[in-house]
Chains A and B, each alone.
Chain A
Amino acid sequence: MLQPALFFRMESKMKKPTIIGNSIRIPSSQDYLVDIDSFLEGILRGYGMGESTIADIAISVTEIVNNSIIHGNKSDIRKEVSVSIAKRNSEIEITITDQGEGFDPTAVENPVEDKNLMREVGRGIFIVKSLMDSVTIDAKKHKGTQVILTKRI
């Protein structure tokens, strides 16, 4: 068991969500998904987007962030996931980056095949591709994974 003084030092060093402009960085814990959602909603509402489109984007980004936390950063709290938003003419571009070993989230079986239908996991990317207009995945070994989502508005 950790000595109280050591535990306190570790706690005080734990990272918190950091927002700078249109970007947010979170430690690799699903406890911070609500911070990602609040951040997205604030910015997208500011762009005047409708609730349905905001929901599509929030669903998709939380999917990718879940992947980044669990499969990318292996839930290592010292590693971070960053999300940034940019508005370009008639589309929103969201970039999600982790600090993991690089993984290909598309390397899953087709979730709508009968044999996979009742699986509890494995349909995240399928959903993201159906809600977004484009999904670009750049997985670099030992250099993390970057996912870029775009949605026409």
Chain B
Amino acid sequence: MKLSALEKNGVVVLEPKGKIMGGPDATILHDKLHEFIENGKKKVVIDMAKVEWMNSTGLGILISGLITLRNNRGELRLANVTGKIQSLLTITKLITAFEAFDSVEDAVKSFQD
């Protein structure tokens, strides 16, 4: 997995790319989130458009991010969840834990509403 980040209207947008399967993947996102939290940036959108698939390690990373941000009075939202990941979120019932939006723009806008 590769990870890039940008900011839109005060919201951090993280763009993971590739497959999230375990090992080094787990620390990359965790470290990035903590870096933003330490800089006072706690509104985060993860753009899933370029994630091919993930296994339970990837789901654990998303949950860890959500909990970390909420514990720091922040929030994590998802955008562009693709078919394979959508079905994993559904069968694990995690779809109920995350707010997901059809586009990054909608997810960013939701923080301003």
Contact = CB atoms under 8 A, between A and B. Distances in A.
Contact of B59 (A30, A37, A55, A123): A123
Interface string B46-62: 00000011111101100
B55 A63 contact: yes
Contacts, number: 67
Nearest to A113: B93
B88 interface: yes
Contacts of A63: 55-56
Q: How large is the interface on B (under 10, 10 to 19, 20 to 34, 35 or more residues)?
A: 20 to 34
A127 B21 contact: no
Contact of A59 (B24, B53, B67): B53
A126 B92 CA distance: 8
B95 to A, nearest CB: 11
Given A30-B24, A52-B84, A124 B56 contact: yes
Interface string B79-113: 00001100010011110110000000000000000
B53 A33 contact: no
A29 to B, nearest CB: 8
Interface string A121-132: 101101100100
Nearest to A64: B55
15 contacts: A33-B22, A55-B52, A55-B53, A59-B21, A59-B54, A59-B84, A62-B55, A66-B21, A66-B55, A117-B97, A120-B60, A120-B63, A120-B64, A121-B56, A127-B91
